[in-house]
Chain A
Amino acid sequence: MPDKPKIAMYWGASCGGCEIALVNLHEKILEVDGAFDLYFCPCLLDTKTKDIEALADGELAITFFNGAIRTEENQAMARLLRQKSQTLIAFGSCAHEGCIPGLGNLIPSTAFFNEIYLDNLTVDNPDRVVPSHLAQVPEGPLGVPKFLPQVRTLAQVTEVDYFLPGCPPESSQIWQAIGALTAPQGPPPKGAMVGAGDSTVCAECRRQRTDKKVRRFYRNYEIIPNPTDCLLEQGLLCLGIATSQGCGGLCPEVNMPCIGCYGPPAGRLDQGAAMTGALGSILDLGDIKGISEEELHGRIDQALDAIPDYVGAFYKFSLADSILGGREK
């Protein structure tokens, strides 16, 4: 039997949900196992870096890389796997756009150590010890991988061939993406999104849009939305309009607003900017003819007052890959 193509799945700073999404192919996982030789996967197989180093360049057919780049170790592994893989896929929101860990870019790295290890209710740390890549124990050096000043996406540290969005990617979309990459007519053009659609979540949402404008936004605990109308038009901050199609509209289906986990829609670089643009067309600011710029700003502020955390609301998943990027470079 000819050797099956080798594939790898590796994680950076991640939650494990991408691995669960893969396992949730359920019986189809046996087909994946039949078609590919899963060669490297720290949760399953040989996790040694040197085994990957020993491969010829490009010997891995496909690497699914999930997780963000948070430590020096994440970064080194991303670059090593790039070198050894014919095709490198940013798998899931963390690798694609930084995801929730990317919110860490709002604060300097020193603040992490302060909040977690020093100024913390349960920590008992009179000597003010914090983890360090230079740590020593009596028996010798025993450091942790260096914490980088900023969360970065996979494409920010190495060249990426395809992006598979979602937090995590829906299992059905993983299956679609595997099909697209191995299609007889050849894989999609380099740099493409796989396992997602060309439109927005609104295209797959069953709720009715009526081009109604809203006077103010509500926080989700303030109102019970009706089950049939567009959540954004009911005044809930639903990001579906600024989010790539792909999940099937799952959150609006259960009366919860889209929080944007599939990232910006095709052709839009910045999800928060796309959402801000969308708000311009949905906010009802009353009669604005002849009012001063100052008053206009005042009305906009008033309409948006319900959102005290604009970045967290609009860039929950995409901050690291946004035009804002983050605080510390």
Chain B
Amino acid sequence: MKRISIDPITRLEGHGKIEIFLDEQGNVANAYFQVPELRGFEAFCVGRMAEDMPNITNRICGVCPEAHHLASTKALDQLFGLTPPPAARKLRELLYMAFFVTDHTTHFYALGGPDFIIGPDAPSTERNILGVIRKVGLDIGKQVIACRARNHAVIKKLGGRAIHPAAGLPGGWSQPLSEAGRKEIEQAARENIDFALFTLKIFHDIVLKNPAYLELVTSDLYLHRTYYMGTVDPVDRVNFYDGMIRVVDPEGEEFVKYTPADYYQHLAERVEPWTYLKFPYLKKVGWQGLTDGAKSGLYVASPLSRLNVADGMATPKAQEHYEELFATFAPGYTTKGRRKPIHHRLATHWARLIELLYAAEHMLALATDPEITSPEVRLISSGVKNREGVGSVEAPRGTLTHHYTTDANGVLTKVNMIVGTTNNYGPMAMSIKRAAEKLIQGGKIIEKGLLNRVEMAFRLYDPCLSCATHALPGEGPMEVVIRDANGLVVRTITRGRQP
């Protein structure tokens, strides 16, 4: 049996690794996506003071600390039995919208976008952020940098720090927003809307008007029929900060809708000895391995899945683009009249830009809300009122859940978390395997497309550390080593920089 190692793959959290095994005919026998990294927050957070958690858990991820900070702060609201004043809730959401704008923007221009803007089979030296700038113009490159800078300034103003914000407290937020600060944020939000519309236009002009790309996006190479998960507001529209968790089946029927605190009744996690990351799945469907379909409990939590589970977007411009996305893929309607889900994974890139526009529009609505500058931003407490608290938000990469149990003194006795990217571990592994199976047949390896197209299988999910690369030029060089059954190297294919 031959073994192909892609070690490590680039642009995902930690040190990802792909191992592909070939059978005697040279077809893919199995493909494994390993995560060889563990820090163990669930273990060492036991014994900590509950109110320290927003500042401890934002260190889970420096790319999306805002998501952990808010999920944690919401779990504290429950533990302390406090409902934050309206302005506090709005300030949290306002920070979160600025975060979504910067995060989704950088993914499109520097990470996922180059595959389309430059092309999946273009020379690797071109397929990067610099190539994007060459293709769309230097001015746009500067706008991308300005967008990141502008929104990180908003995050710092509201949360105290541009990375690992500090303002979350049970029952509130540590500081109110001044009128001067509000005006700056309103201006940033307006610029964000223009930027989002402009980015969608680029996507239309370069991707959708190019028949070859459109064919790639709508092809079966990255198509999986799975369950989908996302948070919806009371009228079933996409919401990032709060709501009910809705899951739809591969046909688009609502499978379940639950409050985040009930997550453990609906989700279970599988442990495999060859990876540190657990595989979540729908408990009531069950674990069938890395396979799709209605009988497999694997589900996706991503920008596309959020649009798949919702009935629409909460802002007008984003709604227009949502309609266009579904009109393009035309998945049809269920017997109950709701849209069927889009199963083409590459549509996630488009969905991400629609979310970018929604975040910008909602940011403006919050920034112009008269209540946002209210000085009433926090409540105080004498201690925990409940022994359990669950906090949940939509992280850019999927539904994020923090669950804390404490003693009477507010010291943690149990911590469980299901993190954005983790939701998609099974689907990512499946997408990688699918790409490998299609590209490696009869022992023949399609050298040119293989490396990048396998990468594209996980890149569309925007796994976490990808954000760290966003404003830097560069293509992730990669090497595939083919070993024989004894582990001897029989062939090496390298792309990108040579030593």
Query: Which positions in A face B, CB cutoff 8 Å?
Result: 11, 13-21, 23-24, 26-27, 29, 33, 38-39, 41-48, 50-51, 54-55, 68, 70-71, 73, 99-101, 103-104, 106-107, 111-112, 114-117, 120-125, 129-132, 135-140, 142-145, 147, 167-168, 171, 219-224, 250-251, 253-256, 259, 261, 307-309, 312-313, 316
Q: Assess the B467–A112 pair: CB atoms within 8 A.
A: no
Q: What chain B residues lie within 8 Å of A142 (beta carbons)?
A: 19, 32, 34, 274
Q: Roughly how many angstroms separate A235 CA and B49 CA in the complex, as a whole number?
A: 17
Besides the known contacts A16-B62, A144-B275, A308-B409, 10 further A-B residue pairs in the complex with CB atoms under 8 A apart: A15-B63, A26-B145, A45-B10, A139-B30, A144-B274, A145-B36, A221-B170, A221-B381, A254-B159, A259-B52
Q: Roughly how many angstroms separate A138 CA and B23 CA in the complex, as a whole number?
A: 12
How many Å from the CB of B128 to the closest CB on chain A? 9
- B246 interfacial contact with A, CB 8 Å: no
Nearest chain B residue, comparing its CB with the CB of A15: B62
Q: What chain B residues lie within 8 Å of A261 (beta carbons)?
A: 164
How many Å from the CB of A100 to the closest CB on chain B? 4
Count contacts on B: residues with CB < 8 A to the other chain.
Answer: 107
Q: Roughly how many angstroms separate A114 CA and B287 CA in the complex, as a whole number?
A: 22
How many Å from the CB of B37 to the closest CB on chain A? 7
Q: What chain B residues lie within 8 Å of A123 (beta carbons)?
A: 268-269, 271, 278
Q: Assess the A167–B164 pair: CB atoms within 8 A.
A: yes
Q: B462-485 CB contact bits vs A (8 Å, 1 = yes)? A: 001111111111101111000000
- B169 interfacial contact with A, CB 8 Å: yes
Q: What chain A residues lie within 8 Å of B30 (beta carbons)?
A: 137-139
The 5 closest A-B pairs by CB, nearest first: A17-B62, A19-B468, A254-B160, A135-B273, A115-B43
Nearest chain B residue, comparing its CB with the CB of A105: B44
Interface centre among A15, A41, A70, A121 (most CB of B within 10 A): A15
Which of B3, B42, B65, B403 sits near A116, CB closer than 8 Å?
B42
Q: Assess the B409–A33 pair: CB atoms within 8 A.
A: no
Q: What chain B residues lie within 8 Å of A129 (beta carbons)?
A: 271-273
Q: What chain B residues lie within 8 Å of A130 (beta carbons)?
A: 271, 273
Q: Roughly how many angstroms separate A57 CA and B138 CA in the complex, as a whole number?
A: 38
Q: B32-70 CB contact bits vs A (8 Å, 1 = yes)? A: 101011111111111111011001100111110100000
Q: Roughly how many angstroms separate A38 CA and B169 CA in the complex, as a whole number?
A: 40
Would you give 11 A-B contacts (Cβ < 8 Å), ordered by A?
A15-B59, A20-B163, A24-B148, A43-B11, A70-B39, A71-B36, A101-B39, A107-B44, A116-B38, A144-B275, A221-B169
Which of A39, A44, A167, A220 sits near B169, CB closer than 8 Å?
A220
Q: What chain A residues lie within 8 Å of B152 (beta carbons)?
A: 24
